[in-house]
A and B are shown apart, each in its own frame.
Chain A
Amino acid sequence: MITLNRKLKKEHTEPTNGLTTAESIVRRISVRDKLLIKEVQEMNENLPATCSVHFEDPNVLSEFILTVAPDEGYWQGGKFKFTVIVTEDYNMAPPRVKCQTRLWHPNINVDGDVCLSLLRQTSIDEHGWAPTRRLKDVVWGLNALFTDLLNFEDPLNIEAAEMYNKNKTEFQTKVQDYITKGKR
């Protein structure tokens, strides 16, 4: 890894307060980064056909963009970008996710906040975050927000859910309006 080499070079010029160079380097790589090396690979190998992942900086595994292009349902034809930021306290805490594409969805509001149970830090049921979850589960969950996990019962965008319950055609039209507007 390039990051490791860089750290190694830097280390030689710094006082090592009694530790050998190798030891202090190992110590500086956080648990999060060690987990990410495995999990990013696993995520890439298990990516659903409707998803793609992009790392702005290939040396930083803790920040990436997930693009979901649903191939069925109301949001078919759209492309939705999510920024995923894995904070230092991973995997005790879930990644922070924000939707960068404006869309009409009961579980994502127009500010890009995402309501997905597995991203909830504190949860009394088995659907919330747990350190046993991995990045691939997060990708799977976000992808499923457009299909299986789509939930009109407990909405974040209440207006969208109410519109769906009143008039599905109107809802569908508004969803597609947002998609067309986003393409312009």
Chain B
Amino acid sequence: MSGEDYDGLDRGDNDGQKPDKMFTLKKWNAVAMWSWDVECDTCAICRVQVMDACLRCQGESKKDSYGKQDCVVVWGECNHSFHFCCMSLWVKQNNRCPLCQQEWSIQRMGK
């Protein structure tokens, strides 16, 4: 993932043309990498990836579901994400995010 353009890197060493300047940086391309944060990507309650069905739903037969909703992801105002199934069980006893202890309020839901 190299985005840099060097000029003169290979010159100048043995021929001694410009001993004061080894090379000039003519162009610089910044390259940013983006990836899922592994910590956020896993539901801290059931330890399954949030994009997969939660541990509870995995145990349930797909064919058996009578129009049952998909297992969705929920994001809190604190930006922590969990399976909606997992989090709704926890907030019944303690309405805080188990990761940061902030009062839990839903920012968005989805897949």
**Given known contacts A132-B98, A132-B99, A19 and B64 CB-to-CB distance under 8 angstroms:** yes
- A side interface size, CB within 8 A: 23
* Residues in chain B near residue A107, CB distance under 8 A: none
- B side interface size, CB within 8 A: 20
Which candidate, A45-53, A60-68, A123-131, A143-151, is the interface stretch facing chain B? A123-131
* A4 within 8 Å of B (CB atoms): no
CB contacts between A and B, total, < 8 Å: 49
A29 to B64, CA, bound (A): 17
* Residues in chain B near residue A26, CB distance under 8 A: 58-59, 61
Secondary structure type dominating chain B contacts? loop
Contact A23 B64 (CB under 8 A): yes
A30 to B93, CA, bound (A): 20
Given contacts A29-B59, A128-B94, A132-B45, 14 further A-B contacts (CB under 8 A): A19-B63, A19-B64, A24-B61, A26-B59, A30-B59, A31-B55, A34-B55, A35-B47, A35-B55, A92-B89, A125-B101, A131-B44, A131-B45, A132-B44
